[in-house]
Structure 1
């Protein structure tokens, strides 16, 4: 074969090899691009799913309902080393153990009277409240405040809650006074709470200090405020009524 034809043949063969190599590189590049695209889409889907999960968890966490205890030193846990030992904190632990989606807010204030509660209720109602537990009046009784005045103040608090949020469930905690306040006054005082509960169709705890009031070993040295052990009993008394409200909510 002439030298020129051999050279031409080798040249054609080399060109053909380069063309095949270029085609191979092209297909390899396309494959890599497609693979990267799929990886990007997969990562995007994973990120999307993770974001959706996070959003769902956030929504679930922020959608918990609120139980607010509005009261005096008994609610506040006066004299306890840890206010979480007060009955609202014990109820929160009970709720958590049952896996219920409620958050307890302790809005107790030592020394609070019904008049004081009336003056601060509008500020308290700036938050969403699903269940409102009203525990006030004891300090009125100990100070000998007129029965009509105490009842009017408590009614004003109930009215304020209903006006702000008609769907809020209200639980009223009753109180009793020691006999040294006089039989007529103590009898009329006890009736305030039963009458308010009946007139307003409220869930009712007849005596929040049931099985605690007057029992020395369950009260602090002042004979008025429950010890940590006493608060456990108070929590059980409150829970008996509160549980029925929670069941009605679910």
Structure 2
């Protein structure tokens, strides 16, 4: 092999290596849906749960993303705090945080709910995990004062941490009987599809923040 041929051969190898390296660097974005039954997909197959439906919609739009379902039915913010470290693996890029509904149903003091969510957000921030905070509204039967205190939690925390907020997880579903299971509280498959569709722009905002943070 003469000198010019050797140089050409080396150049081809370097280009191939460089291209392969860039390809290896284009890793799938890993999200975790940390929440309660609304995230878990209560009484429904996993492929119908909110994380799965969101993942399909995102992939259909060209996003290379996976969303792990870390929803636990009946979980409170205290429960989420107790398991956040092991429910969110070290290689997680972003978390969709949806907790608080069961706190309101049980009448847990809003100040306690806020402390728990604040602690979760603090841990994720320390780990440099991007977060989309998903809000809940207090049930009407809890009274005006409770609702005023509880409903203010999510906007306040979103502002504190500078993170995107989806104000109400059940937006477009809660008053539609045909989108709920027989218990009148949990969404059915069609209801979760509505929720995924409405939440999609905020999840895309989360992906954009992740991309920006990784630059």
Mapped to 1, the partners of 2:48 and 2:177 lie a distance apart of 19
Aligned to 2:6: none
Mapped to 2, the partners of 1:154 and 1:219 lie a distance apart of 27
What is the root-mean-square deviation in Å for CA atoms of aligned residues?
2.5
Aligned to 2:24: 59
Mapped to 2, the partners of 1:184 and 1:215 lie a distance apart of 26
The answer to whether residue 31 in structure 2 is matched with residue 70 in structure 1 is no
Aligned to 2:181: 220
Q: Structure 1 stretches of 5 or more lacking a match?
A: 1-47
1:159 to 93, 105, 122: 122
The TM-score with structure 2 as length reference comes to 0.84
Mapped to 2, the partners of 1:152 and 1:134 lie a distance apart of 15
Shift of 1:58: 8.7
Aligned to 1:178: 139
Give the total of aligned pairs.
Answer: 200
The TM-score with structure 1 as length reference comes to 0.73
The answer to whether residue 199 in structure 2 is matched with residue 238 in structure 1 is yes
- Change in CA separation of 1:221 and 1:100 when aligned onto 2, cut-off 3 Å: same
User: CA offsets per residue over residues 105-125 of structure 1, 9 Å max, x none?
Assistant: 111111110000110111124
Mapped to 2, the partners of 1:78 and 1:125 lie a distance apart of 20
Aligned to 2:57: 94
Mapped to 2, the partners of 1:109 and 1:179 lie a distance apart of 24
Of structures 1 and 2, the one with the larger relative CO (CA 8 A, separation 6+) is: 2
